[in-house]
Amino acid sequence: MAGVQVGGTSSWSKPVTVVPIFFGNHGPVFISGTASPTLATVQLALARRVAIQSLASSYAATLATGITVTSGSLTVTLAAQPSDQQQFNELLTLLNTAPMPPTLTITDITGNPHTVTVAQYYSLVGSYGQQIAALLNALITAKASVASVSGTAALQQITLTDPTGE
């Protein structure tokens, strides 16, 4: 916060708790604390940003490859982008509210059609939702782990498959 001159001395309106260190292509990097940041603090802030971007990219790449689910003898990889998740959710809502034929045709991530029973569809979508939720929880846990580490070496241990980095 800016200091105000009062009778020849500076008087601060309130202490600074979060300071933007520099601005870049992806917005400012903020470092908490009232002391001037050290080089190590700046490096850790940058490493955290890179780690979070890497985790987000890994999450997006995993969704792009689809989610493999099984019901009985049928194993299928379903598209998992947010728009695909919405379509599966809408069909599930429709199944819960309207009479449906005994079988449905769904397409896998490569566009191949598969005929499934309503019971198989429920099983597939249940597993699909659980896997997406687990992946999202891993991302949230990994981001929290990134925020809590105190050194750059520990950041490299945090992945979606091991979100705690332990």
Q: What is the pLDDT of residue 12?
A: 47
pLDDT 10s digit of each residue in the chain, 166 long? 344 444 544 444 444 454 445 555 666 555 555 556 677 777 888 888 889 999 999 999 999 999 999 998 999 999 988 888 888 888 888 877 887 788 989 899 999 999 999 889 889 988 988 999 999 999 999 999 998 988 888 888 898 888 888 7
Confidence (pTM)? 0.71
Q: What is the pLDDT of residue 61?
A: 92
**Cα 6-8-9 angle, rounded to 5 deg:** 70
Rounded to an integer, what distance in angstroms lies between the CA atom of residue 76 and that of residue 67? 8
Residues 48, 156 contacting (CB under 8 angstroms): no
Rounded to an integer, what distance in angstroms lies between the CA atom of residue 90 and that of residue 111? 19
